[in-house]
Chains A and B, each alone.
Chain A
Amino acid sequence: MGYIELNVLNNQSNLAMGIDLGTTNSLAAVWKDGRPVIVHPEGEAASVPSVIHFPGEDKAPIVGRKGRDLAAASPERTLFSIKRLMGRQAAELGSELAMIPFPVKDGEDGVLRIQVDGKSFTPQELSALILNKVHDHGCRALEEEKPDRVVITVPAYFDDAQRQATRDSARLAGLDVLRIVNEPTAACLAYGLDQNKTGNIAVFDLGGGTFDISVLSIDDGVFKVLSTAGDTHLGGDDFDRVLVNLIVEGLKGQLSEEELSDPGFLTGARLAAERCKCALSSDPEAELHMVLASRGVTFHKTITRDELDELISPLIEKTIDCCRRALSDAGLKPEEVDEVVLVGGSTRVIAVRAAAENFFKRIPHTELNPDEVVALGAAVQAHILTGGSRDMLLLDVIPLSLGLETVGGAISKLVERNSTIPCSVTEGFTTYADNQTGIDFHIVQGEREMVSDCRSLAKFQLKGIPPMPAGMARVAVRFHVDADGVLTVSAREESTGVSTLVEVEPMSGLSDEEVERMLIASIENAAEDFETRRNADLNTEIGTMLTATERSLESVRAALDKETLDDIEAAISASRAATSSESPSGLQAVRDELERATLPLAALLMNNVAKSALSGKRLDEV
């Protein structure tokens, strides 16, 4: 029985979507006409900002670009960087808690709860909102197939709990996760397409909030991760923060401590910092400029590229340290790396490029858009997983070692980091007391020698060992890390055959029941699901456009030729007729038609505005 037969039997849609679920932005891509392409509705930006804005009680959260646009005005009701909260507990977040404008606490199940307007959300649920948005964003660009099967990328450094949380949020979003893939590995797939080389590749991925370095080998179409290292708290946002600090320092005399730590002020400062940083990627110097109209305060400073480089050089040095570690884990010297791939918007910073080039002694690849590479790679993996190709194969690795606690809080490592996954390892254990009938296991993840320094994943007990003298029982524990990097453990007492299979319930994580419950809750809220919401959005938009068109049409009617006028009026009546109960795609078409028909009108108005400005008249006098 070959796999080709299976594909014939399989009547599911053969398309699957690759999703880069980013800390700052998210993107969708699919395989189309023999290559991966980013999918987004025409006329809209490719990426969906990973931002959720809460407009107020009893109002549905606004996700994506609109949410981000609203953040400047009311940052205290907007959530950024939800990805950082995935699989984490309040105590682990430390200074990041300050970045969240809502109360946060751990639930009884160890999963974070973010309290908004009397409701509480887990990071999984919030992330599901973003996944829904980006999936919808991608689907709107696809004509026939709307794939519910997805490949989602995560930083290579994500531990078991974070991967579980990502998988749970996809379930909550109603998506079928074919695979969780490491971001740098996905990037490598995207680049590997056109090359059939043999050699070693380093993927240097500096995003908004995370840094990953992966070393891979390519051999006849098989990509194998040799090692990964990184820092989950290092990225372009940190570069911005360095500039934000300059603003804060500079305004210390003029503003109070309180004003300087106001979220609104900080958002403004962050936007100013980002603008300055981006300008420095092309210009040798740029302005760091911020106006605080409400207080009549202005900050202004010219920053040269050299100054920025010096400010961020400790941060860049950190990335190079990670590169060193990854290479040493892979058993390679920098000169043995044949290709260097740059991923993530922050690799546009010239000093970052230079540092990578200098360390690897190689000019890095930048042919693909660094913001899109990961999503493109996810689409390649989605294509492989839907049976589209047996020529390429991605062998991913587990980023952190898995082990069991032994006597005295030490760790016995069962699966070493950078082992290829899926991976099974069986280890033998025995009893230490006479007639002992149970053995406790504590599973941890991390590289340090002691349990207290590692992340605790689960505790479980093997029960029902028959009474026998100490050391006689033979307990085989099988650790299985699946292809997504998520762990299951089973244990078996071999001298008697007593066997228990234990699903590892992470101590901080959602149980299957909880996911089910949230799923039911979100289905019950289906009235607010995205079709309805999109309909409402489109209706509002069409309404606004109609009012504006009708008002301005009267003032310039005489200046329009008959053909254009008829065209506009036809579009207006079509829009009027449509606003009742049209399907979202129908409404979209109506909206687009109205926009097209009114283009000459808009041009005329713009022209008049320009003329009125020249003649010194106010617009309403035209």
Chain B
Amino acid sequence: MSNCPHCGAELETPLGCGACKVPLATETQCDPFSALGLPPSQAIETSELERLHLKFTRWIHPDYFAASPELRALAEKNTGTLNGALSSLGDPIKRADHLVRALKGPSNTEMKDMPQAFLMEVLEWSESLQEAHESDAGSTERQRAFELLPELEERRSEGMNAINSLLCPLPDAGAEALTSARRELNAIRYLDRALEELETLRLAEAEAR
């Protein structure tokens, strides 16, 4: 970590100094982990990220610099980076996605193929969800769709566990584990879409009642 150009204090984040309570200019785009003053890792509690985010925000938020256009602009930019960092790392799925990309693993557009068996399952859920959508509230089709919920939720948490163990400890750049992690991430996207549709159905059901 470098030091503050104004007071020389050791910096916890390159975005600002905690001693002077001002934003600092950064030469390059600051990556999300260093913005939050952390080494890259999947194993971080979201609450810890939020704590650091709030701590640094108190130093550099643009609201404190309304009087100076220059400082305000810098504060706005750095707070933007800090907030962007929390929104890309705060959620474990997004954090994993960020790590896989940062370690030069496949991106979600580069790797779309999923195992045949998994796709067959997806097809089955989609069919029952589709039927449920087309059926009335309280119908057996709806009932059958809602029965999918525990299974989907369990699959999702298994996938999440798999991702966490693939990325802890952090694999080397380009490692095979990154490809596996991407596959699990893709599977979770399918699961989330199905879960979202179930939620829509649930709301429609609640409204009908």
A residues near B (Cβ < 8 Å) are: 1-3, 6-7, 9-10, 12, 178-179, 219, 222, 224, 321, 324, 384-387, 390, 393-395, 415-416, 419-426, 480-483
Contact = CB atoms under 8 A, between A and B. Distances in A.
26 contacts: A3-B21, A3-B67, A6-B65, A7-B67, A10-B67, A10-B68, A179-B63, A222-B58, A321-B207, A324-B203, A386-B66, A387-B66, A393-B58, A395-B57, A415-B87, A420-B86, A421-B80, A422-B80, A422-B83, A423-B87, A424-B83, A426-B84, A480-B80, A481-B80, A482-B76, A483-B62
B81 interface: yes
Contacts of A424: 77, 80-81, 83-84
Nearest to A479: B84
| Nearest 5 interchain pairs by C-beta | A424-B80, A422-B80, A423-B83, A10-B67, A424-B84
Interface in B73-100: 76-77, 79-81, 83-84, 86-88
Which of A7, A324, A483: most chain B CB closer than 10 A?
A483
A85 B83 CA distance: 32
A376 to B, nearest CB: 18
B62 A2 contact: no
Nearest to A426: B29
Contacts, number: 86
Contacts of B114: none
Given A2-B21, A393-B58, A483-B62, A420 B76 contact: no
Contacts of A385: 63, 66
Nearest to B79: A422
A239 to B, nearest CB: 21
Contacts of A387: 64, 66-67
A394 B63 contact: yes
A15 B144 CA distance: 62
Contacts of A390: 64
A384 B63 contact: yes
A500 to B, nearest CB: 16
A501 to B, nearest CB: 13
A523 to B, nearest CB: 24
Interface in B21-71: 21-22, 29, 54, 57-58, 61-68, 71
Contacts of A415: 87
Given A321-B207, A387-B67, A425-B84, 17 more contacts: A1-B20, A1-B22, A3-B65, A3-B71, A6-B68, A10-B67, A222-B58, A321-B203, A390-B64, A393-B61, A420-B86, A424-B77, A424-B80, A424-B81, A424-B83, A483-B62, A483-B76
A329 to B, nearest CB: 11
Contacts of A394: 63
A419 B61 contact: no
B18 to A, nearest CB: 12
Contacts of B86: 420
Contacts of B80: 421-424, 480-482
Contacts of B207: 321
Q: Interface size class for chain B?
A: 20 to 34
Contact of B87 (A7, A178, A425, A480): A425
Contact of B83 (A10, A222, A324, A421): A421
Contacts of A386: 66-67
B87 A6 contact: no
B209 to A, nearest CB: 11
A425 B66 CA distance: 23
Nearest to A384: B63
A384 B66 CA distance: 9
Contacts of B58: 222, 393
Nearest to A217: B50
A416 B64 contact: no
A393 B87 contact: no
Contacts of A482: 76, 80
Contacts of A178: 66
A410 to B, nearest CB: 12
A222 B54 contact: yes
Contacts of B84: 419, 423-426
A321 B204 CA distance: 11
Nearest to B67: A10
A222 B6 CA distance: 27
Given A2-B21, A219-B54, A483-B63, A422 B76 contact: yes
A267 to B, nearest CB: 34
Contacts of B83: 419-424
Contacts of B66: 178, 385-387
Contacts of B64: 3, 387, 390
Contacts of B62: 422, 483
Nearest to A430: B109
Contacts of A419: 83-84, 87
A224 B84 CA distance: 15
B56 to A, nearest CB: 12
Contacts of A481: 80
Contact of A416 (B54, B67, B77, B87): B87
B21 to A, nearest CB: 6
Interface in B117-151: none
B26 to A, nearest CB: 12
Contacts of A324: 203
A485 B170 CA distance: 36
Contacts of B22: 1-3
A355 to B, nearest CB: 15
Nearest to A478: B29
A386 B67 CA distance: 7
Nearest to A178: B66
Nearest to B30: A424
A117 to B, nearest CB: 41
Contacts of B6: 1
Nearest to A420: B83
Nearest to B73: A482
A505 B108 CA distance: 30
Contacts of B77: 422, 424, 480
A622 to B, nearest CB: 63
A497 to B, nearest CB: 13
Contact of A6 (B54, B63, B71, B88): B71
B202 to A, nearest CB: 10
Nearest to B81: A424
B171 to A, nearest CB: 21
